[in-house]
Amino acid sequence: MAYITDIKTFAVIGAGVIGSGWAARALANGLDVVAWDPAPNGEQALRANIANAWPALERVGLKPGASQSRLKVVKTVEESVKDADFIQESAPEREDLKRKLHAQITGACKPNAIIGSSTSGLLPSDFYSDAVNPDRCLVGHPFNPVYLLPLVEVVKGKRTSQEAADAAAQIYAALGMHPLKLSAEIPGFVADRLLEAVWRESLHMINEGVATTAEIDDAIRFGCGIRFSFMGSFLIYTLAGGDAGMRHFMEQFGPALELPWTKLKAPPLTDQLIDRVVEGTDQQKGSRSIKQLERYRDDAIISVMEAIKGAKQRHGLRPDE
């Protein structure tokens, strides 16, 4: 199958936070976007989200033809996908809903159009079970804000062809993303399994009253969050071993893995724990609106990415290293 890779029309199925981010990224790349969302105020919310993201996209740099006016919102799934060259579904994390949606999508779209799902952990083999031509169906799991963060995990299902996965990675790369093609279809994929471990441990500390949401966020943003942003964990820990590298690090710090520091099993999600988390984050948020915080987040992300890009150039590293 010759899949479409030089895409002109990008379909968005589900236009919440993630779907809006996909729409904004596609529009910024000079594509036509056709979107569908069942919410009564779906179009209004989608256009507001894109408008809020646009200043950040202008700062990053718009492609020729980029315009918010190239967004069209339609009333049915079928209308959204019928002329699309690429389709990205971002519906809620319900396997039954996704299975039904993808039967609709694949039955109405072009036979050589690739379909990606933004699911953060459901297995493509399961929710693409009723799809037409499932060889072109896969997961393209992004990270919020989708219009800025480059990582997208590309995950094949049992019936996804390697050609489709390669074509999807090519399309995502053309949109300015860093496609990470996973070698295995595993629940939660790679990135969310790492994030889930941090999230679970954070909830335990809040539940036990030993740390607040602000303290945990400070521990990340003033420490590992800075160094992980340009080197990840394994390479950073290799440096922690000095000239002897990772082997010395493992020998020195490995025994700590036997200590009962962490609890990977999540604590019960009681009303009290939820209240503590909500109250803590409300204090952190203060009087600032979500939209104001989104604009600050976008500014900070771009500043970090620009700083890392400049450092790589000065040290002779490629942008993807």
Residues 284-291, mean pLDDT to the nearest whole number: 91
Per-residue model confidence (pLDDT) at position 90: 98
> Residue 143: is its pLDDT beyond 90?
yes
Per-residue model confidence (pLDDT) at position 137: 98
What domains are defined for the chain? 9-181 (3.40.50.720), 191-286 (1.10.1040.10)
Per-residue model confidence (pLDDT) at position 293: 92
**pTM beyond 0.85:** yes
Instruction: Select the more confidently predicted residue: 112 or 250.
Output: 112
Residues in Cβ contact with 264 at an 8 Å cutoff, skipping those fewer than 6 apart:
197, 200, 201
Tell me, what amino acid is at 121?
Answer: G
What is the rounded distance in angstroms from the CA atom of residue 207 to the CA atom of residue 212? 9
Per-residue model confidence (pLDDT) at position 258: 82
Per-residue model confidence (pLDDT) at position 262: 85
* Token representation of residue 106: 């694949």
What tens digit of pLDDT does each residue of 149-158 get? 999 999 999 9
Q: What does DSSP say about strands 86-89 and 137-141: parallel, antiparallel, or unpaired?
A: unpaired
Per-residue model confidence (pLDDT) at position 255: 85
The whole-chain average pLDDT of the chain stands at 95
Interhelix angle 290-314/42-60, nearest 10 degrees:
30
> Residue 171: is its pLDDT beyond 80?
yes
What is the rounded distance in angstroms from the CA atom of residue 137 to the CA atom of residue 56? 31
Residues 36-63, mean pLDDT to the nearest whole number: 97
| Cα 128–Cα 131–Cα 137 angle in degrees, nearest 5 | 60
> Residue 92: is its pLDDT beyond 90?
yes
What is the rounded distance in angstroms from the CA atom of residue 232 to the CA atom of residue 250? 17
Per-residue model confidence (pLDDT) at position 263: 84
At 212, phi and psi to the nearest 5? -95, 170
